[in-house]
Structure 1
Amino acid sequence: MNEILFSQEAIAERVQTLAREINCHYAQKLCVIVLSNGAMFFASDLLRLLEMPIELDSLAVSSYIGTESSGEICFRSELKVDISDKDVLIVDDIFESGQTIDAVFEYLRSHKARSVKTCVLLLKNCERKTAREPDFSGFTIKDEFVIGYGMDYNELYRNLPYIAIMRDRNGSSG
């Protein structure tokens, strides 16, 4: 059985709180870079609550094979928008070791972004490989593998409306 960690309602409340925090921080146009595929659900809900004009792009970035991080960051897409001299917000589903956010942060800085901040739904309590911490974060969780609300196990379970700890890895959703 998978254990529900955050209900659909709890997620919605926390996303509203994050949106208020971001709205207080940014008054002008903001370029949002969503890390896909995991952050798509989170970003969709978050962006509808932001009050400033948004320029949106996504980057396909991955370090996972199944439930294990490979330790290597793989960029599977490029930016489509020009971010030079713009305020940029990276939106991701989960912050673990920090390697993905670090790699994306440096990638965006190399494209001459004026500022780069990060927003993650989940901040995992685990060993970090970077000193960088997210600027905005939703929930802090233990070092467990989670699924739902965009997060997957071998591309499954992204469509769950809640976030659960993955207990059963044999393919059943029980």
Structure 2
Amino acid sequence: MSDDILKVLLNEEQIEKRCIELAEQIESDYEKLHAVPIVVGLLKGSVPFMAELIKRFTFDCEIDFMSVSSYDGTESIGDVRIEKDMDISCRGRHILVVEDIVDTGRTLREVKQMFMNKGATDVKIVSLLDKPERRVVDIKADYVGYTVPNEFVVGYGLDYNQKYRNLPFIGILKPEIYE
């Protein structure tokens, strides 16, 4: 698996350090609101990041998951599908969406709008990675771990055809693997 990686962008220690910083910032913001957020992980890519992030929280929060899809292979197709909705009602609640990467922005725009339509008080987004060069809709995460170049990145939850999610780092996949 590691032989398929062109270059390591972020190692495990860098990711862990940034998760600690993000957790402190998020905690401070929610304490000011006196709010108990529902932390919603977008399956499957957010799981390693969400696990690392929430274990740093010292404030109350609830946890739920959604499964949404807008990709076919390496391309975002623009058609966002909800495959698994949350189990907890978001009406009148503060939502913190956890995402692995903000790429085109289509998925997050639709998810955020869906929460607002269902009566959420507030929707914030935390993403491990941001790839602004690929953005096609106007959306920004409220909290970002790292900005990455327009390369095909895998690891730490990010995949190519369901592979590489378990790598403990973020790496650039060799083009010959996906072309």
3-state SS of paired residue (1:76): strand
CA contact (8 A) 1:63 1:69 kept: yes
The share of aligned pairs that are identical, in percent, is 33
In structure 1, the partner of 2:96 is 89
Alpha-carbon distance between aligned partners in 2 of 1:26 and 1:107, rounded to the nearest angstrom: 21
Q: Which among 16, 25, 43 is matched to residue 21 of structure 1? A: 25
Post-superposition offset of 1:129: 2.4
3-state SS of paired residue (1:155): coil
- Please list the CA deviations of residues 110-168 of structure 1 after superposition, one character each: whole Å capped at 9, or x if unmatched: 11001111100001031422222110000001111110001111000100000001115
In structure 2, the partner of 1:80 is 87
Residues 39-48 or 49-58, more deviating: 49-58
In structure 2, the partner of 1:51 is 58
CA contact (8 A) 1:148 1:159 kept: yes
Alpha-carbon distance between aligned partners in 2 of 1:37 and 1:97, rounded to the nearest angstrom: 18
- Please list the CA deviations of residues 21-72 of structure 1 after superposition, one character each: whole Å capped at 9, or x if unmatched: 1011011311111100000000011011112211111110111122121221
The letter of the residue matching 2:17 is E
- Please list the CA deviations of residues 53-108 of structure 1 after superposition, one character each: whole Å capped at 9, or x if unmatched: 11111110111122121221111111210111111101000001111110000111
In the alignment of these two chains, the number of paired residues is: 171
CA contact (8 A) 1:30 1:52 kept: no
In structure 1, the partner of 2:139 is 132
Q: Which has the higher helix share?
A: 2
Structure 1, unaligned runs of 5 or more: none
3-state SS of paired residue (1:100): helix
The letter of the residue matching 1:11 is I
**1:33 equivalenced with 2:40 (yes/no):** yes
CA contact (8 A) 1:65 1:154 kept: no
The letter of the residue matching 1:136 is Y
Q: Which among 71, 81, 85 is matched to residue 78 of structure 2? A: 71
3-state SS of paired residue (2:104): coil
Structure 2, unaligned runs of 5 or more: none
CA RMSD after TM alignment: 1.3
In structure 2, the partner of 1:4 is 8
The letter of the residue matching 2:21 is T
Query: Where does structure 1 differ by over 3 angstroms across 4 or more consecutive aligned residues?
Result: 168-171
For normalisation by structure 1, the TM-score amounts to 0.94
